[in-house]
Amino acid sequence: MRRRHLLRSATAAAIAAPVLGPSRGRAQALEKVSIGVLKLASSGPLFIAMARGHFRAQGLEVEPKYFTAAAQVPVAVTSGDADFGVTGLTAGFYNLAGRGALKMIAGQSREEPGFQLNAYMATAKAWEEGLRDLKAYAGKRIAITTTGSTFHYSLGLLARKYGFDMASVTMVGLQQLPAMAAAFKGNQVEGIVIPVTLARQLEAEAGGRILGWVGDETPWQLGALFTSPKAIDQRRATVEKFTRAWAMGCADYHAAFNARDAQGRPAKGPGYDELLDVLAKAVEQPAARVADGLPFVDPQARLDVGDIHSQVAFWSAEKQLRGEVDAKAIVDTSFVAGHFNIPRG
């Protein structure tokens, strides 16, 4: 009797096995998506969300596609080489978005007071000759990467704040950060807009002077998460899941890195050491160097929508846009709650 019972149990198990196997496989299957990104701390929410399994919890397997310049990322999304993109906002981005190829769906980093991300500097020689405040940038040669870049926009904000003519500034486009640093050391320019890690290096090696920080002087919405309108129309559920995981990464980043003490100095929040290690490995830099240039990231992945409108107006005035760009049409506010500074009308 016992033998017949065991045979029946074994037969039942054998019949059930093919049914349970595929079912379990389907439950574990993950949808593959890709994202264009730069190896920068400002992309931290992505690396954190990947490391902590936020995307997998949403049923997604994320493949990062790494680029070396901000302008390359929106091109990759437009061409279909990447499903999503996250990077600093440039005139090139707005040209593609204005043609209906891209939509912002969440915030990345912002230039905010108290966060030393990018510096306005003067060479030692220019300092000695009187370049001792940011108003004196008028009429000077300032090193940037390219026209249409985030550095270009930061200079535009500076001109507006201090009332000098942007056209009086000679922007020396040198493409790469090392070339900018070399021009600064060689006194081929009087000033530079440059990330904090290189700014500290130029202070030590060339006697350069930091005149101010972009976040303190001219705060703005530096970066965004974006995708294509086609993805929103045809894969909305996927975009929703991706954005939820991204926002979780933003919340984790905020808790660890955005904290400040009573004197306004950086303070270690929950998970600081663990997540700094995640970022250091992702960007392939020493943890101490990454810690020197951690940008502000909105804890809810929100956008300063009004600043997006200001950026479009600026690039239009600078004649960097090809045709009209409708700022309202290039932002989809439906994926993240609480976007702020939204213009009326």
Question: By residue range, what is the domain housing residue 133?
Answer: 118-217
Q: Mean pLDDT over all residues of the chain?
A: 91
Question: CA end-to-end span of the chain, whole Å?
Answer: 81
Cα separation, 202 vs 211, in Å, equals 13
Domain count, the chain: 2
pLDDT at residue 63 in the model: 98
Q: How far apart are CA 272 and CA 140, in angstroms?
A: 40
Assess whether 195 and 285 both reside in one domain.
no
The predicted model gives 32-44 an average pLDDT of 94
Between β-strands 118-122 and 31-38, what pairing exists: parallel, antiparallel or unpaired? unpaired
- For residue 211, the domain's CATH number is 3.40.190.10
Which has the closest alpha carbon to 250: 105, 127, 98, 69?
A: 105
Asked if residue 87 and residue 227 are part of one domain, the reply reads yes
The pLDDT value given to residue 265: 84
Give CA–CA dist 225/242, Å, rounded.
Answer: 10
Q: Are residues 229 and 279 in the same domain?
A: yes
Q: What is the pLDDT of residue 298?
A: 96
4 occurs within a structural domain = no
pLDDT band at 32 (very low <50, low <70, confident <90, very high): very high
27 confidence band (pLDDT: 50, 70, 90): low
Same domain, yes or no: 49 and 61: yes
Would you place residue 318 in the very low, low, confident or very high pLDDT band (cuts 50, 70, 90)?
Answer: very high
107 with 132, same domain: the answer is no
Same domain membership, residue 299 and residue 167 = no
Per-residue pLDDT for 345 more than 80? Answer: no
Residue 300's closest CA among 239, 233, 253? 253
**Structure confidence at residue 19 as a pLDDT band (50, 70, 90):** very low
Residue 307 lies in a domain: yes
For 138-156, what is each residue's pLDDT tens digit? 999 999 999 999 999 999 9
CA gap 18, 136 in Å, rounded: 76
pLDDT at position 261 is 86
Residue 4, pLDDT > 50, answer no
Q: Note the pLDDT tens digit of each residue in 142-197.
A: 999 999 999 999 999 999 999 999 999 999 999 888 999 999 999 999 999 998 88
> Cα(284)–Cα(29) distance, rounded to whole angstroms?
30
Please determine, for residue 11, whether its predicted confidence score (pLDDT) is greater than 80. no
Q: Are residues 82 and 206 in the same domain?
A: no
